[in-house]
Structure 1
Amino acid sequence: MSGPGWLLRVLGGLPKPTKGLVVDDEPPTPLTRERIADYLLSRAYRFVIDDDGDLTGTWDGSRFWFLTLGEHQEILQVRGRWHRSLPLEQRAAVTLALNDWNRERIWPKAYLREEDGLLALYSEVSADLEPGVNEVQLAQLLACGLGTGVQMFSALEAMLPPDDAPSPDVPDN
């Protein structure tokens, strides 16, 4: 058989490559804030524990929280808030951009919230880990939540007017 390697693998012509493949037979254990903190420390990420006991830090200027939610703290949520706030007049345009993002990608969920008369943009990746999670799975979920959130904020930064741009309905003098 000839053709691209991935096609041959799909058709059974080549074995799946094992380079970089991590085999982890570690059994899942309960999610804890300490395990999340251990992961962040292992990556040399800087973070603090806020007044609510949540782990939080800043990546590319945007604030991220690493939360445990649910009755038994079994739900992992990586929530990011974009460093910019937007005027309420931009709600329709930003909503269209977020709808495009949510339609075309699995992660992160993106949404707007009105805060103090402005729009705040959030990213969210959540996973129910009631049966537990091993270290490889936890690392993958945390990296996904943080990485896709930063990616989304960066993509929207390129699409939206800069901070100092005049509002579309305010004429220049």
Structure 2
Amino acid sequence: MTATAGRVGVVTPEMLRVLVSERGEFVRDLPTGVAGRWEANAYQVVIEGTDLVVRTRWSRLLPLRAGRGAAQLVNDWNRDRLLPTLYTEASDDSLTIVASSATSIAVGLSPDQVAEVVDVALTVTAHALRSLAASVPAGS
């Protein structure tokens, strides 16, 4: 990071692009942040209002018929843990699980703080998705 790494300021999409690029995970720019790829899972780091949101989509797709079981897994995770928040997203023929972590940036963050927020979010998300993978047999 730069000499201003400790200075708290406004979090910008450019700051997020630099961070994810330095991590070697940059995929593309988004209007309010960036998209990256980590451990085969697509993620976004975006600014939503006064929050910095790290949202990761599990790389596995489940059949729609698995919706009830997936909802139970997500409910169990969210009941017992603070981060990340898990939820299901359905498409026309499948569903997946998304992990989301949000941190207020209303008063600003330093680049080092942004890096730590993203690292913590991706680390706890990796744990969550590994737990899911262990709970949901391949081909389910």
Matched with 1:28 is: 8
- Deviation, 1:117, is 2.4
* TM-score, with length taken from structure 1: 0.71
Structure number with higher relative contact order (C-alpha < 8 Å, ≥ 6 residues apart): 2
- Amino acid in the other structure paired with 1:125: S
**Correspondence for 1:152 among 116, 128, 131:** 128
Deviations 1:4-54 (Å, cap 9, x if unpaired)?
xxxxxxxxxxxxxxxxxxxxxx442101112222222333x2212246464
Give the 4+ runs in structure 1 shifted more than 4 A.
Answer: 50-53
* TM-score, with length taken from structure 2: 0.85
Gaps of 5+ in 2: 1-5
Matched with 1:40 is: 20
Instruction: Give the structure with higher Rg (CA).
Output: 1
Distance 2:43 2:116 in 1: 16
Distance 1:62 1:97 in 2: 19
RMSD in angstroms over aligned alpha carbons? Answer: 2.0
Query: SS state of the match for residue 44, structure 2?
Result: strand
**Correspondence for 1:106 among 75, 82, 87:** 82
- Amino acid in the other structure paired with 1:149: T
Identity of aligned residues (%): 26
Matched with 2:39 is: 60
Equivalent residues, number: 136
More helix by share: 2
